[in-house]
Amino acid sequence: MNEERRDESGRHTQVDRRTVLRATALTAGGVVLGGMMGISTPGGAFAAARPKVYTRSDWGARNPKNKIDVLGRAPTHIVVHHTATANASDVSASHAAALSRAIQRHHMDSNGWSDIGQQLTISRGGHIMEGRDQTLRAVGAGHHVVGAHTANHNGHTLGIENEGTYDSASPPRTLMDSLTDTCAWLCLVYRLEPDKAIVGHRDFNTTGCPGDRLYALLPRLRKNVGKRVQEQLRHLSAVAGTQLSLEELPTYPAVPQAERAAVFYHGPTLGGRDASP
Ligand SMILES: [Zn+2]
């Protein structure tokens, strides 16, 4: 969608909303909005919207067995999961890295998948780790890496695995803060409305994931992410000289149910409508 505006010299210029929003979320990569839009920006670039994300090489990921599918479009939803592992007390980055390696080993060697299933993992210490191969590059380009985390919906959903089991325990503040940062970054990059885009695994599949306690925190998460997104939009609107908003997206089905418990098992991850994992 384009919007007409006048620049300082009175000429009409076209402001592409997608370009504006993409640029905001990409500033961590050094993209300067003014350069892309032909308008001046105070300070040249915005504050980085992307939180620190440890790369696959940081945590010692194995290479994927097969080429990972990357779709040239944005996902429609961010799916919140729990890892169905212990509520560990180790908050170090090295523990987070070891968790990512353990999940990748399970997904590749036990499940026979090409790679770790989810696109992002967050530890109880709040460390954010890249998951499936190509994820950071794809997010930066507004594209979607097809994962294996939500059955029949992997073609349009990005999965975040949050360390722990939250059926009766609540997730720590450090984890929720990082989850908020991550969702705000993703909503800006992909132009997703937090109220509609942020869902739990149980909203799509028959599963208890992400646990009653974490699931109950999703309304607050959506609200906090929404505040962040609006702050960024206000900032952008002031700079661009036009009122910007995120576009409407379709709503999602709600299918909450219960399930069995096992380490790393948090519900259906693949279905007949998904590509090869
Ligand atoms: Zn799940």
Which residue, among 116, 101, 2, 16, has the nearest Cα to 64 in the 3D structure? Answer: 116
Query: What is the Å distance from ligand 1's center to 51 Cα?
Result: 23
Please state which CATH number belongs to domain 52-240. 3.40.80.10
Instruction: Return the H-helix or E-strand segment holding 208.
Output: none
pLDDT for residue 50: 84
pLDDT for residue 260: 42
Residue 27 or residue 223, greater confidence: 223
pLDDT for residue 2: 43
Query: What is the Å distance from ligand 1's center to 206 Cα?
Result: 10
- Per-domain boundaries in the chain: 52-240
Query: What is the Å distance from ligand 1's center to 33 Cα?
Result: 36
| pLDDT > 90? residue 225 | yes
What's the predicted TM-score (pTM) here? 0.77
Query: pLDDT tens for residues 165-202?
Result: 999 999 999 999 999 999 999 998 898 999 999 999 99
